[in-house]
């Protein structure tokens, strides 16, 4: 099979980590009989430097015509000629917002997995870290409070700000269906997070979840209030498999879930459309302070490529092979500088990519 991938190296360490993800994908292609064809696209600061905008219409169209998009990182340059002296709509991150909208990416997937070899970095107490955890936060990405009507105005002499939280049943249903489909590829449990004791939008959310659940009899479903979920993530994260929630709750909870792993350099993510097209990127930033030094940890980007194999291409066996190779590298004591501990072998960014390829 041939797959067209739009590659967006972006800024900072982006080109380095994307190069290693491509290296791993090519090894998968060689082993399993696939061909991955790459088209490079500029986005972020490099696009601003070249074209004056963070994402051109031509770049978006290239991404739209691809089977999937692989992104490194955008932004980071401050000081002289800073991209952040520009108006907000021309800054690097505006390109990311534009491509999400342009590709209809409504579902954000953020896995949070604690590797046994890295459990000492987990900020939770030892007994919780020893139990481990492996969860997927599924966040609705294009509705809710962040996209509702908003205004700030003077009312009776007092400045008043209003943000509107709006969801319709179709927006809720499509993200919930996506979560249940993902659960079917995992341990078949869904935790739906809401604030149904207070919010009408959450009561509608809970109603739609119950309706969708009827179509997935193999999946265990539970409703959980968002404040309780925030507590449970640090008390007993092992209980979670797939967590599905609305935009703002998902924004907060996914960051909390990522931090309990103790290493942001290991965290992949995906943003999916209603079809198979998705954008895959590491959760970390552009790290301009180490750009070009071959020091970056490419594992998050490589794991994002594994998510691409699984969710855009339905290549579960191939995704398993990448994830197993990453686990084996860590078991073998191979580390980049950010996760280096005594007794392990430190390698460069490209060295880590090579080590993972060797274990596929």
- Say if domain 1-103+277-360 classifies as CATH 1.10.10.10: no
pTM for this structure? 0.88
312, pLDDT greater than 90: yes
pLDDT category at 30 given cuts 50, 70, 90 is very high
Which one has a higher pLDDT value, 312 or 147? Answer: 312
| pLDDT score recorded for residue 18 | 98
Give 123-167 pLDDT, tens digit per residue. Answer: 999 999 999 999 999 999 989 998 889 899 999 999 999 999 999
88-97, 290-299, 313-322: least confidently modelled range: 88-97
Q: If DSSP states are collapsed to H, E and C, what string results for the chain?
A: CEEEEEEEEECCCHHHHHHHHHHHHHHHHHHHCCEEEEEECCCCHHHHHHHCCCCCHHHHHHHHCCCEEEEEECCCCCCCCCHHHCCHHHCHHHHHHHHHHHCCCCEEEEEEECCHHHHHHCCCCHHHHHHCCEEEEEEECCCHHHCCCEEEEEECCEEEEEECCCCCHHHHHHHHHHHHHHHHCCCCEEEEEECCCCCHHHHHHHHHHHHHHCCCCCCEEEEEEHHHHHHHHHHCHHHCCEEEECHHHHHHHHHHHHHCCCCHHHCEEEEECCCCCEEEEECCCCCHHHCCCCCCCCHHHHHHHHHHHHHCCCCHHHHHHHHHHHHHHHHCCEECHHHCCCCCEECCHHHHHHHHHHCC
Give 79-137 pLDDT, tens digit per residue. Answer: 667 898 889 889 998 898 899 889 999 999 999 999 988 888 889 999 999 999 999 99
Two structure tokens written together for 202: 């959450």
Give 351-360 pLDDT, tens digit per residue. Answer: 999 999 999 9
| Residues listed for the chain | 360
Give 59-86 pLDDT, tens digit per residue. Answer: 999 999 999 999 999 998 776 678 988 8
Q: What is the mean pLDDT of residues 259-277?
A: 88
Catalytic residue ranges: 146, 195, 227, 251, 255
Start-end of CATH 3.40.718.10 domains in the chain: 1-103+277-360, 108-264
- Say if domain 108-264 classifies as CATH 3.40.718.10: yes
């Amino acid at each position: 099979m041939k797959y067209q991938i739009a590659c967006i190296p972006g800024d900072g360490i982006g080109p380095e980590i994307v190069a290693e993800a491509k290296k791993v994908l090519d090894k998968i292609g060689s082993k399993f009989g696939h061909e991955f064809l790459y088209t490079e696209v500029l986005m972020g600061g490099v696009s601003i430097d070249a074209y004056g905008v963070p994402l051109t219409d031509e770049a978006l169209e290239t991404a739209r015509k691809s089977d999937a998009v692989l992104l490194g990182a955008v932004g980071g340059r401050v000081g002289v000629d800073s991209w952040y002296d520009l108006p907000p709509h021309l800054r690097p991150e505006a390109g990311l917002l534009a491509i999400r909208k342009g590709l209809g990416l409504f579902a954000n997937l953020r896995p949070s997995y604690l590797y046994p070899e890295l459990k000492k970095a987990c900020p939770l107490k030892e007994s919780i870290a020893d139990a481990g955890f492996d969860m997927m936060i599924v966040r609705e990405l294009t509705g809710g409070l962040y996209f509702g009507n908003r205004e700030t105005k003077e009312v009776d002499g007092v400045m008043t700000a209003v943000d509107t939280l709006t969801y319709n049943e179709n927006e809720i249903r499509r993200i919930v269906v996506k979560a249940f489909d993902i659960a079917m590829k995992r341990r078949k449990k869904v935790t739906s997070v809401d604030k149904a004791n207070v919010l009408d939008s959450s009561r509608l959310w809970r109603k739609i979840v119950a309706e969708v659940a009827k179509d997935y009899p193999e999946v265990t479903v539970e409703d959980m209030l968002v404040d309780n979920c925030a507590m449970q993530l640090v008390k007993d994260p092992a209980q979670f498999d797939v967590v599905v929630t609305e935009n703002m709750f998902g924004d907060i909870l996914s960051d909390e879930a990522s931090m309990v792993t103790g290493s942001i350099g290991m965290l992949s993510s995906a943003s999916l459309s209603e079809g198979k097209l998705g954008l895959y990127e590491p959760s970390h930033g552009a790290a301009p302070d180490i750009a070009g030094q071959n020091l970056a940890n490419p594992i998050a980007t490589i794991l994002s490529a594994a998510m691409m194999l699984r969710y855009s291409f339905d290549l579960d066996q191939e995704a398993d092979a990448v994830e197993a190779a990453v686990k084996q590298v860590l078991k073998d004591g191979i580390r980049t500088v950010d996760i280096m501990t005594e007794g392990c072998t430190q390698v460069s960014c490209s060295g880590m990519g090579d080590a993972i390829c060797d274990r596929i």
